[in-house]
């Protein structure tokens, strides 16, 4: 099955420009072209690339950050993490979620 460059970039968690660059520098498989010149990628090759060691080293990691300022907001923090996981699963193949339960500003304030 062939998919568009937009769908391929979404699956890999990279931009369309990045896919074009990877094809140009031979980092990624070359695309089949339609009569109109549009790129189409083989779905099984996309899955192979996603699971390869090369992919793990080649794609940057996305980092998501969740934070609340007090222990009273711990449930809010859990909800933030769930939403970030959903988003990252949909948009990135390689990500990490960091969370922080802070206690507000500790720097002295000037009047």
Beta partners for residue 3, in sequence order: 41
User: Of residues 9, 15, 48, 69, which has the active-site annotation?
Assistant: 69
Is 70 designated active site?
no
Residues 5 and 31: their CA atoms lie apart, in Å, by 9
Cβ(21)–Cβ(67) below 8 Å:
no
Residue ranges in the chain assigned as alpha helix (H):
5-12, 16-24, 43-50, 53-58, 74-91
**Local structure of residue 20 (DSSP, 8 states):** H
Give catalytic residue positions. 69
């Amino acid at each position: 099955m062939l998919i568009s460059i937009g769908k391929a970039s979404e699956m890999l968690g990279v931009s369309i420009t990045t896919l074009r660059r990877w094809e140009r520098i031979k980092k990624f498989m070359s695309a089949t072209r339609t009569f109109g010149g549009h790129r189409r990628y083989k779905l099984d090759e996309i899955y192979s690339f996603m699971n390869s060691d090369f992919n793990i080293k080649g794609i940057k990691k996305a980092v998501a950050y969740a934070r609340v300022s007090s222990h009273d907001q711990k449930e809010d923090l859990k909800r933030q993490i769930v939403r970030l996981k959903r988003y990252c699963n949909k948009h990135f193949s390689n990500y990490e979620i960091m969370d922080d339960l802070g206690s507000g500003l500790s720097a002295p304030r000037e009047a």
